[in-house]
Structure 1
């Protein structure tokens, strides 16, 4: 991870003067989706880059120590060794960026990675994920316990009610408390954009989250009806850029929810390159929150190497 975002004082004047031009955002999103994506070996290289930016995630009610262990092994060897070897990438240390689990499963993930002699980060969702509708003290305690169990990244959810009703001071104050509870763990703040009514609200929530010291801002929990979309990503990326130009602090971006195909991953990387520049094309400033994306990327790499598509049973599952 890179230098942390120390946050700033809440600048309400800046937050309130924001107006997002919806039509120009939609047009820009269309324009980015129309750009050509790389082909052949360049595409394979971009897909390997995408793999290194994935927070490989399991957030299911039936998670057990064994499927968390399997997830960790997949994170450490995300693409079949023989495929990497034929591309001469087997010794480049390609892993996913992190594994992401519920707080109750953090200890399992830490144990599995330790047994494999790996320093891969363990991320945990917290703060009453996904709804964020539990009492503040409960949410803070959840962060502390996940950190105590060994999580080095915490994905918090904001209290949407505060954003929807425009209570920006209260939202800032809550996120500052979460940041303090995270200690040395990096904090990714989930805005649950599908539940914020307008692009302007998304931009304002992004700014407030960054001012409160978020190291990343993240689109969604993956549990809302609308998750990561390209227009919303443009709004959040512009907020990140404005914050950087104003403060000199770089904040990361994490789209999550509904990103399943290699082709989509290429569009996301293109969007980040276009909107934020090459500095953001690294796991310390860009992550995918995904569970099934890796399987499709591995199928595309298999196709690149062999000229054929693999049946799903030929590739080890996460």
Structure 2
């Protein structure tokens, strides 16, 4: 049986009293400070006006490329498409060997083995969505089987979805226990917990979900599946960055953040990196602790990188269209 990593154990142990029952967990989550929505959005907007130039911009573009989870999560995915994605993940720009690799390729569990073969020993991770992604509407045993299949196929990371219905109806302990069970089933694979922030309705709920995910053992907290109308925003990501910062201050345990869905341009990516630096700090400016869930974002980053180095944009065939 897989053992719980020490960091996760430490984080969960710090909140043993809070998770003793539904009542204590509710008391803890509803005792978190309320979110000043106006202040949060104003802060996110202000940070979004920061601009960076020349050397700093080149660094930011390469950093953003290295943080991408290059993703294909469609019913029409084929082995050929996944192999092509793996090749692009390892060599984003075949004409420039100095271009960084992306962080990971993210696929459905049945495509994990194909993705693993495609990235070889490059260091690019293979992530897999699981737990009846994207709706999460399945029995726990089905969700755990989904996770075990992905891990057995070689997944380095598991992206799970929480039961939003249980969360929104106040059954916090059920959500906590599911996350903890998935963490156990994930073994050595790192666990990203997806909240689907666009369905949580309020910033207070996003703060509660962030803390619930962290105390249950998440290695990353993730905004969205990318399958709903509202996905990652600067404001909800800022709120989650505040949560991981405060969690580390309280427990000593560092948790990553992954905004996903709707981040399509290099300009957007740089704004998110500013949020990371100004909110959580430089310790999170690394792909071990911050990721972008995206696919089309990589193309724009490559175009901007090429423009910065040559002073001009290449033709429309410079990058592949995903």
Shorter-chain TM-score: what band?
over 0.9
Structure 1 4/260 Cα, relative in aligned 2: closer, same or farther at 3 Å?
Answer: farther
Aligned partner of 2:71 among 54, 57, 77: 57
Which structure 1 segments of 5+ residues have no match? 85-89
- 1:99 paired with 2:105, answer yes
SS at match of 2:144: helix
Residue of structure 2 in register with 1:173 after alignment: 177
CA contact (8 A) 1:227 1:257 kept: yes
Aligned partner of 1:41 among 51, 55, 73: 55
SS at match of 1:314: coil
Where has structure 1 moved over 4 Å in runs of 4 or more? none
CA contact (8 A) 1:164 1:197 kept: no
CA distance in 2 between partners of 1:79 and 1:304 (Å): 14
Residue of structure 2 in register with 1:112 after alignment: 118
Written as runs of structure 1 = structure 2, the 5 A alignment for 1:286-305 is 286-305=290-309
TM-score (norm 1): 0.92
Residue of structure 2 in register with 1:226 after alignment: 230
Residue of structure 2 in register with 1:148 after alignment: 152
Structure 1 276/113 Cα, relative in aligned 2: closer, same or farther at 3 Å?
Answer: same
SS at match of 1:237: helix
Kindly tell me the number of residue pairs found equivalent between the two proteins: 306
Residue of structure 2 in register with 1:87 after alignment: none
Aligned partner of 1:30 among 45, 53, 61: 45
Which structure 2 segments of 5+ residues have no match? 19-24
Q: CA deviation at 1:317?
A: 4.6
RMSD: 1.6
Q: CA deviation at 1:111?
A: 1.7
Residue of structure 2 in register with 1:189 after alignment: 193
CA distance in 2 between partners of 1:145 and 1:252 (Å): 24
CA contact (8 A) 1:5 1:250 kept: no
CA distance in 2 between partners of 1:312 and 1:256 (Å): 25
